[in-house]
Amino acid sequence: MTPTPPVWQEGSFAVRLIYMVFFYIIFAVTDLILLALLIIQVLSVVVGGAPNPWAQQYSAAFGRYLLQIWAYIGCQSPVKPWPFSPWPAESASTQDEGSEA
């Protein structure tokens, strides 16, 4: 029985490298999305007195998306993140954490 090759050796590494650069660019742009979430939450708390529930749910999924990019670029996962895979869903543990705050 032959051992399975590491993730980065499956298929063509040149193609994977192109995807890695693509996801690095996406990762580099995400700071603007994070800034937008910050502004939404600050305004929501200042004006409405409470955090925006949509922004809370989106930021939980957004954090998991960034972890997926990190895992793909670091050759820890062969699965390409969104838009090649489904967008990460909010987990039950995140919902519980959000209700405690």
Q: What tokens appear for 88 in the block?
A: 């990460």
Q: Which positions ≥6 away from 8 have C-beta within 8 Å? A: 16, 75
pLDDT reading at 96 higher than 60? no
Q: Which amino acid is at 1?
A: M
Report yes or no on whether pTM surpasses 0.75.
Answer: no
Q: How far is CA 68 from the centre of its chain?
A: 5
- So where are the chain's domains? 13-91
User: pLDDT digits over 51-74, tens only?
Assistant: 999 999 999 999 999 999 999 999
